[in-house]
Structures are given as structure tokens and as C-alpha cells.
Amino acid sequence: MELKKHKLPKHRKWSRTLSRHLCEEHADEFNEWWNPELFNWEGESNALAKYCHEHFEKWWDPNRLKTTACILAKYCSEYFDKWWDYFKHTVELSDDVIWPLFCPQHFRTWWPVISKRYRLTNSFWIHLADNCVEYIDEWIMHFLEQYELTKAILSLDEYDLIRLLSAAKQD
């Protein structure tokens, strides 16, 4: 359905359904419908990130946005420097693989937060090895400590460690 056929309420807050529909179906017409005063921030902030990320600069408002760092990392990683300080407290363990997959270039910013909060999953380590190998000297000790690996492993070179991580993938 074309946006012009919608009769958008002009004086009352939009429903979650309407807000989501506009994001999903009319992201390319964002400038025609966007109204931060009427948009349902509480219910559909994630839809903004997912479907309207190319309009990030227009909808970005950390005081209204109701989402998590993981959603923003997945859909708005190119704006990492704008949202990280506001949303780093929302990092969730269940989504730890998002960081090396979508934001490897910001490793030095998210690693101190991620590494101190959780026991990281095997999948996280595999994605870290695949996407952040250039930072291996910064994360390998944490990996070894988490898995209580012996000092003998410290004699392995970088490529042996990557093979070790890849072998863990098979488990």
C-alpha cells in the first residue's frame, strides 16, 4: 500500500502497529512520514534501527530510543561512535557473537565491556578468531584463563591458536 493512501493521525501518538508498518513498508519514504512526536518509541525503536538505519541521523535521539546496544550493533554499526556511550550498559550475554561479527573495527571499545561482564560463549570465541585476529594479543589471555588452559598452550603461535578455536567449533 502506498504511503499516500494511509491517513496518518496528526495529533495523537501512533500505535505500535502503525509505527512498525511505516518502518517495515515505507522506509524508502521515511522523510514523508517521519514525526518523532507521534512515533511509538516505546514499542518500535528496534524497527527504526532494523528498517530505517540509513536515516539514522534523522531519528537518532538517545533520550527517546528504547533499544539495546546489540540491536544497534547489528543494524547501525556504521554509527557505532554515536550510540555506544549511551547504550553500552545494555549489552546482553545472549548476543555476544554480535560484537565480533558486526563491529570488529571497534574491538578496543567494546572488548573491555564484554570481557568483564560475562563468561563468553564458544561461538563468541570462534567469531572473535575469525573477525578480530589482529587483536589476538589483547584477547588471547582472557580466552586461556576462561578455559583454564595450561601454560603449554602459550607456546602455540597465532595460527595454532586459531586452529584450536576452530576445533572447538566442531564440539
Q: Are 140 and 149 in contact (CB under 8 A)?
A: no
Contacts made by residues 114-120, CB under 8 angstroms, sequence distance 24+:
115/139, 115/142, 117/91, 117/93, 118/93, 119/146, 120/96, 120/146
> Following CA atoms 116, 161, 105, 52 in sequence, which dihedral angle do they give, to the nearest 10 degrees?
-80
The pLDDT of residue 151 is 46
- Give CA–CA dist 156/138, Å, rounded: 16
Write the DSSP symbol of residue 65: -
The pLDDT of residue 131 is 93
- Dump pLDDT digits (tens) for 27-58: 999 999 999 999 999 989 999 999 999 999 99
Contacts made by residues 148-153, CB under 8 angstroms, sequence distance 24+:
none
What is the value of pTM for the model shown?
0.78
Higher pLDDT, 160 or 99: 99
- Residue spans of the domains in the chain: they are 1-67, 68-171
- Dump pLDDT digits (tens) for 125-154: 889 989 999 998 888 888 877 766 544 455
Set of cell numbers at residue 130: 575469525
CA distances from 51 to 20, 36, 97, 98 (A): 9, 16, 21, 18
Contacts made by residues 116-119, CB under 8 angstroms, sequence distance 24+:
117/91, 117/93, 118/93, 119/146
- Dump pLDDT digits (tens) for 5-28: 567 777 688 999 999 999 999 999
Q: Are 124 and 101 in contact (CB under 8 A)?
A: no
- Dump pLDDT digits (tens) for 78-103: 999 999 999 988 887 667 889 999 99
